[in-house]
Amino acid sequence: MATTTGHIIKETFPVLEMTCASCAVSVATMLQSTPGVEEASVNYADQTARVAYNRDSVTPVALRNVIRSIGYDLVIDEHNREQVQEQAQLDHYRALKKRTIASLLLSAPVVVVGMFLMDMPYANWIMMALSTPVIFYFGRQFFINAWKQATHRKANMDTLVALSTGIAWIFSVFNTLFPGYWHARGLHAHVYFEAAAVVVAFISLGRLLEEKAKSNTSAALKKLMGLQPATAIVVASDGIHTKEVPLSEVQVGDIIVIKPGARIPVDGRVESGSSWVDESMITGEPVPALKETGAPVFAGTINQKGSFHSRAEKVGGDTVLAQIIRMVKEAQGSKAPVQQLVDRIAGIFVPVVIGISLLTFAVWMLAGGENAFTHGLLSAVTVLVIACPCALGLATPTAIMVGVGKGAENNILIRDAESLELAHKVNAIILDKTGTITEGKPVVTDSYFLPGDKDLNELQRILLTMEMQSEHPLAAAIVKELQQKGITPLAVGKLEKIESITGKGIQAVYNKTLYLAGNTTLMTDNGIRAEDAVLRMISKWEAVARTVISFAANGQLLGIIAIEDEIKPTSASAIRSLQNSGIAVYMLTGDNEHTAEAVARQVGVRHYKAGVLPSEKAAFVQELQRDGRVVAMVGDGINDSHALAQADVSIAMGKGSDIAMDVAKMTLITSDLNTIPKALRLSRKTVFTIRQNLFWAFIYNVIGIPLAAGVLFPVNGFLLNPMIAGAAMALSSVSVVSNSLRLKWSKI
């Protein structure tokens, strides 16, 4: 998927042939050093490169050629990029599986001979014959990739494997061909064919298991993509016949036939017919929704028993499902802040390990006694074999991928890894009232127009026309109520100087008279005060959590309207859960003090502020941040977007405005507030998994490398066998990925 800003294109390309975390660093470095590339990052876990480049200076073909020069490949096919990557990965997996099986079959007899039958005739020659194809044919990729890296003065995991197995093989061949060299010096001519062969076999096996495990980390994304039907049944231009076409050929405006039990292919509206549709994958609501003429339908949702026609409104990448898939993909490919440190470590890891290996050999030669050369060579090879940047490189991205996927399965869309890493630190959460704590579907419950000389019908027509100009949900409730009473709006152009007053209401001029509709603040600002009887009525309505809208003109109150927005049944339990977790919950609303107090009391919110303007919401977020709080903001409207952008963690309700969802780092595709504690628990578990992974990856190398160098030899004569080192290295990567996969089965 590509996004364009001026001449700069941001695009994600699948990368092929990467085998370790250092490979990802090499690819990123080559891309970043290419003229015309503004920014590049590579994710080893999902095998993709995200590149921002100037389309006037560099092309995808040029980027691919740069990457091919160091032994990797870039998929630049625009139409079926994912399918090409998937097929290439499948081919790679199959080839790796064949090489691994062959390596294991040939290595097994080498191990038996090397361990138990060393004195048999021609033992060394048999081992050389069996190990050579393992190392140089089935393990040829290690040497090919290492050479390509070396030509660019780079090194990766393949460099370590090629150096260690190559040196061990050359040393063993020399000892097989010229055993007399050592015998003349009173030493035995040791060979390490079995170590070299088994290292190749074990590392191949480790990579095979790693590939298998990594494919499972994107299972949630594959499940989402599986919700998209491949074809759609479209009504032909004659309006009678139908034809089945690929999904990519569906155009906006096409009439789609939706049969019983079928998945809806694109977003649209019901043109004719009716049915119940299971929208749980979009809304999280388990009960099917009734769809009649004019009702919206979404791609990926499942039609129940009825049949209907829908008119396509959003196709391809514009559908809600496609946007969800895109958001999950981008989040899985994004990097948590801790990953940047790990990337820097992985980038210098291989050269440092080669340095440690050379130092190990030098120390053995200086202080190793009569077998110094043999022990030194063996230890240097073992250091190269046991060192593993892969476990480090996989520690964070695999946990992030599984965490983001787990979120998607639980109606939590996470935009980037940073928010997932930060959410567990949240200790203050701000909730908007309308549409977040409440249903966001306000209805008029009472209205009272004061007696006067003005015609009531005309007043209601003026009020209807004014409120039709507002986007506020309370205005929509008044419009719906008046239209149901049969009130019609004024003719177009009759209202003049219509102005929406942020956080207060709306005003307009009609027949040279200024009319106002809004909250108490708007009335007070204009010097309008209600009589005591009306004030008592307002207080009575507000005491039961109803919002009162006043209507006035010429400094006189004309009427009041009470609007009720039902509190969501899950709001109180969600707020209680957050507070029990030690998180301070605040409710901010533009509503009046009495209504805010009534809602806060009903849901158990201890801290609330009423009459808050949109800019004041953002200021309140800043105030909490200055007090050292990590703040999460939850909202659903355009008026929340500033505060969402200011917050450390921003959460949008999925049924809210597009702007709120664009700004937010997390989106809840359900209206259930209980999803918020789930999102915070998911963050906590993901971060804990990352820390576990990093601990084991670091501790493995901290313990393994000194052991391989022979640090225990002066104490108890222990030297680590390269075969065991190879197995341990392979196991470290597999264990990290497997630990991340545990997130899939955990309960949030």
Residue tagged active-site, from 267, 416, 432, 672: 432
- The DSSP call for residue 277 is E
CA dist., res. 164 & res. 166, Å (int): 6
Instruction: Tokens for 491, please give them.
Output: 């003719």
Residues in contact with 166: Cβ distance below 8 Å, sequence separation at least 6, in sequence order: 135, 143
Q: How many C-beta atoms lie closer than 10 Å to residue 366's C-beta? A: 9
Question: Rg (Cα) of the chain, in Å, rounded?
Answer: 34
Angle at 177 between CA 185 and CA 104, to 5 degrees: 115
* Ranges assigned E (strand) in 355-423: 412-414
- Spatial neighbors of 580 by CB under 8 A, at least 6 apart, are none
Give the Cβ contact number of residue 247 at 10 Å: 16
DSSP 125-161: HHHHHHHHHIIIIITHHHHHHHHHHHHTT---HHHHH
For residue 484, what are its two tokens?
A: 């149901």
Tokens of 366: 């200086």
Q: Which of 669, 227, 212, 225 is nearest to 398 (CA)?
A: 212
For 70, 544, 565, 567, 644, the CA distances from 592, given in Å and listed in that order, are: 65, 12, 14, 16, 22
The neighbouring-strand residues paired with 308 are 258, 273
559's CB contacts (< 8 A; 6+ apart) are 447, 448, 449, 450, 459, 463, 550, 551
Per the CB < 8 A criterion, the answer to whether 411 and 613 are in contact is: no
Which of 175, 513, 527, 660 has the alpha carbon at shortest distance from 374?
Answer: 175
Q: What is the distance between the alpha carbons of residues 112 and 566, in angstroms, rounded to a whole number?
A: 76
Calculate the CA 301 to chain-centre distance: 22
With b for 16 or more beta-carbon neighbours within 10 A and e for fewer, the 482-491 pattern comes to beeeebebbe
User: Each residue of 288-321: b (16+ CB within 10 Å) or e?
Assistant: bbebeeebebbbbbbbeebebbbbbebbeeebbb
* DSSP structural state of residue 47: T
Long-range contacts of 145-152 (CB under 8 A, 24+ apart): 145/17, 145/19, 145/23, 145/71, 148/69, 148/70, 148/71, 149/26, 149/70, 149/71, 151/70, 152/26, 152/30, 152/69, 152/70
Active site residue 432: yes
Compute the distance between CA of residue 578 and CA of residue 678 in angstroms, rounded to an integer.
10
Q: Which helix (H) or strand (E) holds 500?
A: strand 496-501
Helix, coil or strand: residue 46? coil
> What secondary structure letter does DSSP report for 388?
-
Report in angstroms the alpha-carbon separations of 705 from 204, 351, 373, 593, 725: 21, 14, 19, 66, 9
DSSP state of 316: G
Residues labelled catalytic: 432
